[in-house]
Structure 1
């Protein structure tokens, strides 16, 4: 009674492992390019993955299935957003306005991290 997890996130988040949860319990971690087998306590469960604050949506999994973890398009934009925001604030003439703009941008960035799913789970046939 197990499932196979394949991590195919390319360079996105390659510095650390992705945590795998089934039914809200941590059952393992997967490194970049790695494939792992995870035992299921029942023949089914609800799976999510996360890495720091980045997460996926929930997926129902059954015994014997293979699940691939990939990055969403949003994750690529989300990773580059801080660099782009800093560059754009260079065009703001005063330091106080620039600082205010940076604070607002990063507050929006961190709040949005809780709503954007940066990983996609798909069943491999």
Structure 2
């Protein structure tokens, strides 16, 4: 029994592989725009991770086609990081107290990658499964 996984994450995170976890164990890595098949038993719990960033967990069955995409909020966070860098350069002459608060905000911002799902898993096609699953 196999499940097909397609990675369509766009430009965000394309430089490194994403680890695929089946039932909590890393089994394979998938590169940018790659499509792989993995063997499963009757059903399995599937998630992906990349440098601490994670995805939602889905239950897959034989014949499922799963698509990995980047969550929309990840693009917003990336753009915010670029704007933050620009802002730091503009106010580099600010008082020490202001710099400390800006660094604290940036640390909170970075930790959001580990607390919220960066990637989204979705079953895109399987004629044997009900539409309402």
Q: Once superposed, which parts of structure 1, at least 4 consecutive aligned residues long, lie more than 3 Å away?
A: none
Separation (CA, whole Å) in 2 of partners of 1:84 and 1:121 = 28
Q: How far off is 1:92 after superposition?
A: 7.0
CA-atom RMSD in angstroms: 1.6
Cα deviations by residue, 1:43-83 (Å, 9 ceiling, x for unpaired): 10100001102110110111110000001111111222222
Which residue number in structure 1 is paired with residue 50 of structure 2? 51
Separation (CA, whole Å) in 2 of partners of 1:43 and 1:122 = 18
5+ long unaligned stretches in structure 1: none
Q: Say if 2:22 is the partner of 1:22.
A: yes
Farther-moved stretch of structure 1 (77-86 vs 30-39): 77-86
Cα deviations by residue, 1:28-52 (Å, 9 ceiling, x for unpaired): 1111111000111x21010000110
Which residue number in structure 1 is paired with residue 84 of structure 2? 85
Separation (CA, whole Å) in 1 of partners of 2:110 and 2:94 = 24
Instruction: Return the TM-score normalized by structure 2.
Output: 0.85
Residue pair 1:68, 1:124 contacting (<8 A) in 2 also = yes
Which residue number in structure 2 is paired with residue 67 of structure 1? 66
For 1:106-117, list aligned pairs within 5 A. 106-117=106-117
Separation (CA, whole Å) in 2 of partners of 1:44 and 1:92 = 54
Separation (CA, whole Å) in 2 of partners of 1:33 and 1:113 = 22
Instruction: Return the TM-score normalized by structure 1.
Output: 0.90
5+ long unaligned stretches in structure 2: 126-133
Which residue number in structure 2 is paired with residue 3 of structure 1? 3
